[in-house]
Amino acid sequence: MALFDREEDNFRSDVGTRALSVTAVENDFVERVYENLASVYDVIFGPTLHPGRLVALERMGIRPGDRVLEVGVGTGINTSLYPTNCHVTGIDLSTSMLEKARERVAREGLRNVRLLEMDAANLTFADDAFDIVYAPYLVSVVPDPVKVVREMRRVCRPGGKIIVLNHFRSANLVLSRMERAISPLTVHIGFKSDLDLPGFLAQADLKPISIEKVNFPKIWSLVTCSKD
């Protein structure tokens, strides 16, 4: 966390302006990727990424009546993890993923969950509409991760939590170069491997409460923030 406590103008300018990734994507490309992944997503990304999901739920500290927005709900793999005494809204851009999520919600009888098709970068909710806004394994594939998180911040109430669970580029120079090199390839299976965490936080104007490494291997970060 010391990285984010430095006050030097040069440092802040660097992280605030540097490129977040070498790879650019568009919404139609993201939609195609996830249309293709919908039928196999739970098998490929289910068990391996599940520990991070459980830690994220703990960090939310959900209370009865809380309004939770999950941005990028996908196949609804998280929906049964939420307490039944909170109100969950899940959004996704992929119709195929949402079909899977709706099937899951109906099968498990989850009456506290609603699912909507929506672009994460252009949320149609009012300001301050949710107590917790959560993006699991999403920001490294959307065209504009900063715009998405600014929208998440807008719809989160003051004092609420903004939680991002994602892979970010390693601080290790060798690993960082490798992640940049393979990013144009990994995007075809659903994510950019080289998203820069300090730059992302600076451009999104987020100040984290905590940053934790989760899953195995611990190359995934759980970033918990509070809206001022």
More confident: 104 or 46: 104
DSSP string, 39-95: TTHHHHHHHHHHHHHHHHHHHHT--TT-EEEEES-TT-TTGGGS-TTSEEEEEES-H
- Which of the residue ranges 70-74, 122-126, 184-188 would you say has the lowest mean pLDDT? 184-188
Please check the confidence at residue 134 and state whether its pLDDT lies above 90: yes
184: domain range?
Answer: 2-226
**Which pLDDT tens digit goes with each residue over 94-107?**
999 999 999 999 99
Buried b (16+ CB within 10 A) or exposed e, 73-99: bbbbbbbeebeeebebbbbbbbebbbe
- What the block records as the tokens of 50 is 């599940």
- What the block records as the tokens of 216 is 């195995």
- Count other C-beta atoms under 10 Å from residue 31's C-beta: 16
More confident: 66 or 169: 66
Number of domains observed in the structure of the chain: 1
Please check the confidence at residue 2 and state whether its pLDDT lies above 50: no
**Which pLDDT tens digit goes with each residue over 3-43?**
344 443 443 445 554 568 656 666 676 667 667 676 777 77
**Which pLDDT tens digit goes with each residue over 172-181?**
788 867 877 7
Please check the confidence at residue 223 and state whether its pLDDT lies above 80: yes
Beta partners for residue 221, in sequence order: 166, 213
Give whole-number Cα distances, 152 to 108, 131, 132, 197, in Å: 27, 11, 9, 17
CATH of the domain at 141: 3.40.50.150
Mean pLDDT score across all residues of the chain: 86
Biggest alpha carbon distance in the chain?
54
Report the amino acid identity of residue 74. G
**Which pLDDT tens digit goes with each residue over 201-220?**
999 999 999 999 999 989 89
In angstroms, the CA 45 to CA 51 distance is: 11
